[in-house]
Amino acid sequence: MRSCLRPIPSVIAIVVLSLTGGCAARKPAATAPAPPSPAVARRPPALVVPQPPPCTQCTPSERIERELAAAFSAPELSHAVWSVLVQSLDTGEVLYRLNPDTLVVPASNQKIVSMATAAAELGWDFRYETRLEATAPVEGGVLRGDLIVVGTGDPSLNPRHGDRDVAFRAFAEALRAAGITRIEGHIVGDDNAFDDERYGNGWQWDDFAYGYAAAVGALQYNENVVEVTVSAGALDGAEAVIAQQPAASDLTIVNRVKTAPAGTPTDIDIWRFPGRTELQVSGSIGVDAKPWTTRAAVDNPTLYFVRALRDAIVASGIEVVGPAVDIDDEPATGAVERRVIATHQSPPLSEIGKVLMKVSQNLYAETVQKTLSARPGPASTIASRRVQERILAGWGIAPGQYAIADGSGLSRVNFVSASMIMKILRAMAHDPALADVFEATLPIAGKDGTISGRMKATRAEGNAKAKTGTLQRVRSLSGYVRTADNERLAFSIIANNFTAPTAAVDAVVDHVVERLANLSRAK
C-alpha cells in the first residue's frame, strides 16, 4: 500500500433519516443513478464519522478503501465486531474487507440464505397448494363423514395478499357446487406436510407470545397471529376492555390491564407460556388514551386455520355438525379414501419473496426454509438444512463456514460471515434465472421495505437494494448498489456486540453505502 493509506483522521457528518415510502419491484438500472436533489434538506447529524484527509496520489480504489476504513473506526463503535466485504460484480475486484471470514450473528440477513436457497431449489414459479377433501360420499346433500383440508405451508392467506378469507369462500362455493348442504363429520386440518417443530432452534421462549415469533405449520392463516386491542375502561381503576380479531384463534385472554388516570402513558405487555393458550395481557392504559393494539401469536396454527374455515363454511349457509380439529387429535380410523373437492394455490414464490424480504417477515422465512425438504416430504428442519448445505456447497460455501439454526434470523445461534453472504449475492446476481427477481425482493433505499426511510436525498436512494437485520446488539445490511459510473457492487456489512445506539451503527452503514454509490473510477 502507498503511504497515503495512513489513517490520519479528520471528520465528516453523517445523517440519519426516518421517512417512509411505498413498495416497488425494480429491474437493474440502465443508466447510472442520478445525483441527489440539492433542494432536499438534510437533518442534523446523529454521528460524526472519521474521514481521512484527501490523498491526491490515491487511485479511486485506494481512496474508497481509506474512507471505509475510517468510517468503521468511529470511536463510538470501538467495541463492535464487524464482518464486512465490498466487491465489484463486474470485475470481481474486492474494494474493501474487514474480518470478512469472521463468524457473526446475522439477524435477518439470515433471510438472504433462506430466500436464495429456496429460489435455487424451488424456482420463482413455485406455488403452495391447499386441498379440500371429503372422506365419504354425498347423499341427499349430506356429507356423511369428515371434511379434510390438507396444507403444504401456504403463508399467504393474510391481508398482505388481499383478502385473507378468499380461499375459504372459494372452498364454501365448491361445497355448494358439489351439492353439499350439511357436513356430519369434523372439519379436520391435515398438517402432516410439515413436521411438528414449530419454532426455530435457539428461539427464546418469552418471544412466543409475539407476532414476530409465530409458530410455523403446514396450515397457516392470518400469519398465525391475532390482533389484540386494549381499550380503556370507563373510569380510573376499572378493568380495561380487551378484544381479539379474528375470533377463531385458540387464545384465551387473561386480562390484567387496569385503567389509569388521564394522561398516564400506556404501558402494556403480553406473554404466554409455550404450549399454553392463555395469553396474559398486563399493564395500564390511561382513561383518555387511544386503544393500544399488538399482534399476538396463536399456539396451534392448524387449529386456528380449521376454526376459521369452519366459520366461513357455516357463514355460507352449510350446516356443520362436528367441530374443527387438528388431525393429530382425530381418532385413528385406518386408511380412508379421500376425494378432492377443491384446491387453492398461493401466489408464486416471486411474490411471496417480496413480503419475506421487504417486510422481513419471519413466518414466511421459516415456511420457505422448511419447504425446501417438502418433496417428497414431510418437510423437516433437519432435512431442509441438508438441502441448503448442498446448494451452498455449489456456491463455494463449505458446511464448516457457517451455522444455520432457523430461516428467519430470530435465533442467536445462526452464524454467517460477510464472505458467505457475498458468495450468495454473487451467485444470485450471476444466475440469469434468479438475478432479476431476487433483486426485486430486496428493500429499496429511501423507497420501500425496511430501508424506506434510510439514505434519503443521496445517490443511494432508489439505487441501493439491501436486506436489513436487527437484534439486540446486532445490525446488518447486505445487497447491491450501483456506482456513479453504473458499476455493479455487492456489499455485506454485519455488526455485532456494539454498545452504541442502533442509530449510530446505521449512520456508519448508510454512509458507507452512500459512498459506494458516489464512487467514480474516472475521478
Q: Is the dihedral of CA 357, 361, 367, 373 positive or negative?
A: positive
Least confident among 91-100, 292-301, 336-345: 336-345
CATH of the domain at 80: 3.40.710.10
> Based on the domain organization, do 320 and 359 belong to the same domain?
no
- Do residues 74 and 155 both lie within one domain? no
Is the pLDDT reported for residue 10 higher than 90? no
d(CA 218, CA 195): 8
Say what the pLDDT of residue 378 is: 77
Beta bridge partners of 345: 129
Give the model's pLDDT for residue 375: 74
In a domain, 40, yes or no: no
Looking at 320, 347, 374, the residue that finishes a domain is 347
User: Cell 386440518 identifies what position?
Assistant: 189
What are 403's strand-pairing partners?
A: 415
Examine the domain organization and report whether 117 and 132 are in the same domain: no
d(CA 416, CA 107): 10
pTM of the model: 0.89
**What's the CATH code of the domain at 159?**
3.50.80.20
Between 190 and 16, the more confident residue is: 190
Of 218, 82, 13, 106, the residue nearest 498 (C-alpha): 82
Asked whether residue 7 is assigned to any structural domain, the reply reads no
Residues 177, 318: one domain? Answer: yes
453-476 pLDDT tens trace: 999 999 999 999 999 999 999 999
Domain end (from 298, 322, 347): 347
Residue 324 and residue 463 in one domain: no
**Does 38 have pLDDT greater than 50?**
no
| Together in a domain, 215 and 296 | yes
Residue-wise pLDDT tens digits, 402-447 = 999 999 999 999 999 999 999 999 999 999 999 999 999 999 999 9
The number of folded domains in the chain is 2
Predicted pLDDT of residue 377:
67
Residues 322 and 179 in one domain: yes
Is the same domain home to 357 and 502?
yes
- Is the domain of 464 the same as that of 385? yes
Give domain status of residue 16, yes or no.
no
The average confidence (pLDDT) of the chain is 90
312 and 440 part of one domain: no
Rounded to the nearest angstrom, the gap between the alpha carbon of residue 229 and the centroid of all alpha carbons in its chain is 24
pLDDT confidence bin for 7, thresholds 50/70/90? very low
The verdict on 92 and 171 lying in the same domain is no
Q: Does residue 13 belong to any structural domain of this protein?
A: no
Who's near 504: CB < 8 A, 6+ residues apart?
A: 46, 47, 74, 76, 77, 498
Residue at 23 is within a domain: no
Per-residue pLDDT at 498 exceeds 90: yes
Pairing of strands 292-297, 225-231: antiparallel
The residue range of the domain holding 67 is 48-123+350-517
Considering the domain boundaries, does residue 66 fall inside one?
Answer: yes
Domain boundary among 308, 328, 347: 347
Residue 18 lies in a domain: no
Q: Is the pLDDT of residue 48 over 90?
A: no
Q: What is the pLDDT of residues 237-271, one digit of tens each?
A: 999 999 999 989 989 999 999 999 999 999 999 99
Does 62 share its domain with 94? yes
Residues in the chain: 523
